[in-house]
């Protein structure tokens, strides 16, 4: 890993959203690798229940990426047609914003961003 640049994504488990996020983050942040932490509908999990054991698990995994891989950017993702979070876009955007606040509260000294993936699997930066 010496010399390699890592960033971190808290993404959905959905196979359709892996490559779009990897390609977008590599391009936007000149990253070599994207550490991927997956949960079904992570934007909802992080927005609604920051003290849930599943969220603590996400936090632990993000911590490894930040500490061991020196990641400086952590993204949380919501997407169209999410089986784990089947609510409309407007609600998901609110959840993404709240999820970013949850991650910021962890005090990791990283840039936290929120991303939305639309029905064409295009990535949009929300926060
Ligand atoms: Zn999903």
**Domains of the chain from N-terminus onward:** 6-125 (3.40.1050.10)
Q: How far is the CA of 2 from the centre of ligand 1 (A)?
A: 33
The distance from CA 123 to its chain's CA centroid, rounded to whole angstroms, is 12
Under 8 Å CB-to-CB from 102, ≥6 apart: which residues? 46, 47, 50, 55
Q: How far is the CA of 71 from the centre of ligand 1 (A)?
A: 24
- Rounded to an integer, the average pLDDT of 66-94 is 98
Q: How far is the CA of 50 from the centre of ligand 1 (A)?
A: 19
Q: Say yes or no to pLDDT of 112 above 80.
A: yes
Q: How far is the CA of 72 from the centre of ligand 1 (A)?
A: 24
Q: How far is the CA of 3 from the centre of ligand 1 (A)?
A: 32
pLDDT attached to residue 2: 62
Q: Say yes or no to pLDDT of 6 above 60.
A: yes
Q: Say yes or no to pLDDT of 14 above 60.
A: yes
């Amino acid at each position: 890993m010496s010399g390699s640049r890592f960033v971190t994504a808290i993404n959905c488990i959905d196979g359709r959203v892996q490559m779009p996020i990897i390609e977008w983050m590599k391009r936007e942040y000149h990253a070599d690798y994207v550490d991927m932490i997956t949960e079904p509908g992570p934007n909802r999990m992080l927005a609604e229940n920051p003290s849930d054991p599943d969220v603590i698990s996400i936090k632990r995994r993000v911590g490894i990426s930040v500490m061991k891989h020196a990641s400086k950017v952590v993204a949380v993702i919501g997407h169209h047609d999410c089986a784990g979070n089947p609510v409309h876009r407007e609600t998901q955007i609110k959840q993404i914003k709240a999820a970013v606040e949850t991650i910021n509260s962890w005090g990791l000294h990283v840039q936290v961003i929120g991303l939305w993936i639309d029905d064409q699997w295009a990535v949009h930066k929300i926060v």
